[in-house]
Structure 1
Amino acid sequence: MMKRLLFLLLLPLLVSCKNHIDNSKEKEVPLNFIKKKENINLTLLYGVWAYDITDPHAVFSIDEKEFFIVDSDHLGNSKTYAYVVKENTLELEDENLIKSIRIISLTKDSLKIKWNDNEEMTRYVRFPQN
């Protein structure tokens, strides 16, 4: 009789603990299922970028209005693009062709991107200003 009484008194406590554990499990979401929207700090992005600070010239520059690629065809010709920012991606508009640049990492001195749907990441450094 005493065991039953003790069981009845402890039953609400056990149920309450089980509900607390079940509720906490429901709130956990695996990180790979979370879609994170990232916005670019454009003031960090604007500037002149190169592969290395010792390079004789930059690879590209970007400002509020345009994305300028130095030697875009590897024949000494440069090209200017209009661009649109969408979350962590820049879309360059070029004669019915959209080139996509996904920004992986951006600091005041370095930039890591993936061009178009290429999985290879390219690292740039801010080109020193004279």
Structure 2
Amino acid sequence: KALDESVKSLDATVQIHLHTPKASKLPFATKNIDVLTGEFAGNPKNMDFISKKELDAHDKFIRAGITRTDIDHIFAAHLVGGVTPKDVDLVDSVDSIKKIYSQAKERFGDRMTFAGPDCGVGAWPSQEVASLLLKRTVEAVR
């Protein structure tokens, strides 16, 4: 009820960002939240927690996170491998982003109305590398 009350006066498409789609039951029960956003690039198994059937039944849509933004984990994976990554190596490849996009589109169909990065890019090492992430995301969905 609190979620509905907090957004009921907004004249906009209302989205709620779920760091774990296991929490999707709560926004499914609301009438004023239109779109659930999920982080699918960092953990593609997150797609298993939301079905198109549920989206249809509750008249909800999905914004698919298709580009990884968990910069600490990305950076650590390179370091564990003994490599100090260049900024360009921190961003998912266009092909990798396309793959997640295609998986999400296949799973959610017309209920997937938005796609973008998993989460924010404020913690990224520079605006240039964050911009590269956004550019590759756009290129992947075109």
Report the TM-score when normalising by structure 2: 0.21
- Which gives a bigger RCO, structure 1 or 2 (Cα 8 Å, sep 6+)? 2
Q: Tell me the TM-score normalised to structure 1 length.
A: 0.23
- Structure with a larger share of its residues in helix: 2
Structure having the higher Rg: 1
Q: Which has the higher strand share?
A: 1
